[in-house]
Amino acid sequence: MTILIEQQQPQQPEFGVEGGGGKDHVVDEKELVLDGGFLVPHTNSFGQTFRDYDAEGERQPGVDIFYQNNHINQTYDFVQRMRKEYSKLNRVEMSIWECCELLNEVVDESDPDLDVPQIEHLLQTAEAIRKDYPNEDWLHLTGLIHDLGKVLLLPCFGELPQWAVVGDIFPVGCAFDKSIVHDKYFKENPDYNNPAYNTQYGVYSERCGLNNLLMSWGHDDYMYLVAKENNTTLPSAALFIIRYHSFYALHTAGAYKHLMNEEDVENLKWLRVFNKYDLYSKSKVRVDVEKLKPYYLSLIEKYFPAAKLRW
C-alpha cells in the first residue's frame, strides 16, 4: 500500500541565518573520556565539531532544508496516522541481517557527521560499545539495530520522505522546545498556533511517562515497534534506546524532563551511554563486515525468537 503524504512547502528558504554553533553540543572536557575508556574525537570526518548545524560546509544547506521540511510537516495528526499504519507490520518479512544489508541503499540527508555506508555506522557503533562493555551483549545488538528503521526510505517500505524518517525527534502534542535543532522552522508547523498543542504540557500531564508521548515519526519509533511486536527478549533499556536515541532535546539538552516517569529516569542513564558511541564512533575507520557477521548473527538468534521478522 502506498501512503499519500501531503507535504507542505517552506515559505521562504532561509540559510544559516542563526549564529552560534550546535546548540545542544555542550561538551564538558571532563566528559571526554567515557566510563569505558572510549576517547571522544574532537572533530568529525569533515574536520568540524560534531552536530554543528550552523557550520558551513558541503552538507549544511541540505541538512538545513531537511529540518525545515521536518519541522513544518511533523504534526500531531501526521504522527497518529503514521503510527497506526506502520503498527500493522504487514509490508515485508525478512531477517535482521537482511535489513542491515538493505540499509546500505539508504542515504541520510539529516546527518552532518556521517559519510560512510549505514551498515558501517551500525557496526562501528556496536563494536565501539563492545570494546568498552564486553559483557553487555544486549547493548552490542542494540548498536547494530538502532538505525534499521531508516529502511522506511525504501520503496518496499512506503518510500517515505527523508523528513518522515531521519533526523532528531521531539514530542508532538505539546510545545516544541527551543533546544531542538533549527527550532525556528516550527513557526510554520500548523500545531505551533494550536492552543491544544502549544503549551508546556499540551495533551500530556506531569510525569506521564515517555511511553505516553507521541514522538515525531521516524526510524526510532518504527524500529521500536518492529522489535517489540516481533517479541524480542532484549531488556527494556534496549527498547528505550532504540525508541529515543534521536531525542537529543531530552538526552543531551535535558528538556521535557517534566514528562518523564521513574522508569524513564533509569533508562535514560543507558541511553546517555549509548549516545556517545552512536555519535562519536562515526569515522572513516572501515569495519570488516564479513568478519563480524557470525558474532552478530549469534546475538540476533539469542534475542529474537524468529529468524524472519515482520516489518
Ligand X SMILES: O[C@H]1[C@H](O)[C@@H](O)[C@H](O)[C@@H](O)[C@H]1O
Q: Tell me if residue 33 falls in helix, strand or coil.
A: strand
To the question of whether residue 205 is assigned a binding role by annotation, the answer is no
Residues 150, 166: contact at Cβ < 8 Å?
A: yes
To the question of whether residue 251 is assigned a binding role by annotation, the answer is no
To the question of whether residue 47 is assigned a binding role by annotation, the answer is no
**Grid cell of 227 as nine digits:** 522489535
Give the nearer residue to ligand X in terms of CB position, either 68 or 110.
Answer: 110
To the question of whether residue 64 is assigned a binding role by annotation, the answer is no
Measured CA to CA, the distance from residue 281 to residue 304 in angstroms comes to 26
Give the nearer residue to Fe ion in terms of CB position, either 71 or 197.
Answer: 71
Q: Is the dihedral of CA 292, 246, 153, 15 positive or negative?
A: negative
Instruction: Please give the DSSP secondary-structure letter assigned to residue 217.
Output: S
Pick from ligand X, Fe ion, none: which does 171 bind, CB < 5 to 8 A by kind?
A: none
Measured CA to CA, the distance from residue 228 to residue 236 in angstroms comes to 10
Give the nearer residue to ligand X in terms of CB position, either 40 or 203.
Answer: 40
Pick from Fe ion, ligand X, none: which does 253 bind, CB < 5 to 8 A by kind?
A: none
Give the nearer residue to Fe ion in terms of CB position, either 202 or 241.
Answer: 241
Measured CA to CA, the distance from residue 310 to residue 90 in angstroms comes to 7
- Closest approach of ligand X to the CB of residue 1, in Å: 25
Measured CA to CA, the distance from residue 221 to residue 217 in angstroms comes to 7
To the question of whether residue 31 is assigned a binding role by annotation, the answer is no
To the question of whether residue 42 is assigned a binding role by annotation, the answer is no
Q: For 149, how many CA atoms within 13 A lie in the half-sphere containing its CB? A: 28
Pick from Fe ion, ligand X, none: which does 216 bind, CB < 5 to 8 A by kind?
A: none
- Closest approach of ligand X to the CB of residue 110, in Å: 4
Q: Which region holds residue 231: left if phi is over 0, alpha if psi is between -120 and 50, else beta? A: left
Instruction: Report the residue number whose CB is nearest to ligand X.
Output: 246
Phi, psi for 94 (deg, rounded to 5): -160, 165
To the question of whether residue 258 is assigned a binding role by annotation, the answer is no
- Closest approach of Fe ion to the CB of residue 136, in Å: 18
For 294, residues 6+ apart whose C-beta sits below 8 A from its C-beta are none
Query: Is 147 a residue that touches Fe ion (CB under 5 A)?
Result: yes
Span 264-293, contacts to Fe ion by CB under 5 A: 278
- Closest approach of ligand X to the CB of residue 242, in Å: 10
Residues 56-95 as x/- pattern, contact with Fe ion by CB under 5 A:
----------------------------------------
Q: For binding to ligand X (CB under 6 A), which residues are involved?
A: 108, 110-111, 147, 166-168, 245-246
Q: Is the dihedral of CA 214, 218, 223, 225 positive or negative?
A: positive
Residue 142 CA, distance from chain mean position: 13
Residue list for the binding site for Fe cation = 121, 146-147, 219, 245, 278
- Using CB under 5 A, list all residues that contact Fe ion: 147, 278
Residue list for the binding site for substrate = 51, 108-110, 150, 167-168, 245-246
